Structure 1
């Protein structure tokens, strides 16, 4: 696995490199300190990276701006945000912009390694606290717990006892739609990948949001992240569907 690590703090850059390289003998980490260096590394070695770890506070660039550039130029390349911030507004913004994970720098080494494993397995990682309050620092972004398979209404903030994805009662096609939704793909692209009409995809997306008990795609990503942290990665649970068409 080839990882591009972007952080402008030398000590943190070195520490993160050591932790990530500890994931396996086949892990190669390239560390850069600026947004410009990150862009140059990606241009010089197009297709040579499997994952990008991105700090939001860079001396020469805004991390969110760089994230937007990465998602536009390299849509298939997973990006995980590593940040000193753990505000829910930053987590939600990063996921909404296409990041596959958000790991606060205060997290343990084990948490970082588990987050990277989840992302490389096709899941999304967000810190558990992002589902709740930010101690009044930001506007609340409440998420309801997914509805149990029995149809009962789960209570607010019941993420300690998340149901499994399998218990949500999604059909195989809804599961396929959810998998592509988690990759940030719009309805038109999902329709093309699954050979469905856009209207049918909209119906499936609405059904998935209802099953998860959320109101938006970003909330769905956050909810699935919480579920997979308790019950295993989404890619190991989802039913097999037709291979994506490229």
Structure 2
């Protein structure tokens, strides 16, 4: 039996994922967590076979949780589930150590395959993402401006790209307005831009936001 723990701050999402898993004879939902801190506490108390981790959660987001899991529990495969389009976070998430990456929209058809594959020691990505990675290998190796950003800076850039204010981003990431403003300043400097309007235009043109 493959024992799975689900970490997502939305009870309805957890219930939907459980429903998909319950139909399988070889997989069970052994535990649930409503946020990253709760997930880390539970995996410290006992081991699970696979972790299903939401990327966007209050307090400690999925990327930070993933990095901590790679330090504390490197042998447990983590499948990231997110509402964000694959082009926005997938490559960064996989480089950070995730064993799989799925959009929630595709979970119904791909979740079980992903759990079984990562449990066997493999990596799982959707066919569309695999194709995108293959094409990326053929492209010029020079980094685009947003690829020079740290993970947190990139996250703030994507949120700015959706038109959110500094205060709104601070609330969403559980950071101070001053901290987010500092990230914004670094982003503008690294990307050699002057204001939010230029950042939004860049994010839209490069497919970083929907």
- Same fold by TM (over 0.5)? yes
Deviation of the 1:28 alpha carbon: 3.4
Match of residue 136 from structure 2: 142
Structure 1 unpaired stretches of 5+: 135-140, 145-246
User: Could you tell me the TM-score, scaled by structure 2's length?
Assistant: 0.60
Deviation of the 1:130 alpha carbon: 2.1
| Structure-2 change in CA distance of 1:26 and 1:97 (3 Å) | closer
Q: How do 1:68-83 and structure 2 match up within 5 A?
A: 68-83=67-82
Match of residue 94 from structure 2: 95
Match of residue 6 from structure 1: 7
User: Could you tell me the TM-score, scaled by structure 1's length?
Assistant: 0.51
Answer whether contact 1:104 1:127 (CA < 8 A) is retained: no
Provide the rounded CA distance (Å) in 2 between the counterparts of 1:109 and 1:51: 17
Determine whether 1:38 maps to 2:55. Answer: no
Deviation track 1:59-108 (CA, whole Å, cap 9, x = no partner) reads 12111010000011111111110111123241111110111000110104
Provide the rounded CA distance (Å) in 2 between the counterparts of 1:92 and 1:36: 24
Q: How do 1:30-179 and structure 2 match up within 5 A?
A: 30-45=31-46, 48-131=47-130, 142-144=136-138
Match of residue 161 from structure 2: none
Deviation of the 1:10 alpha carbon: 1.0
Structure 2 unpaired stretches of 5+: 139-210
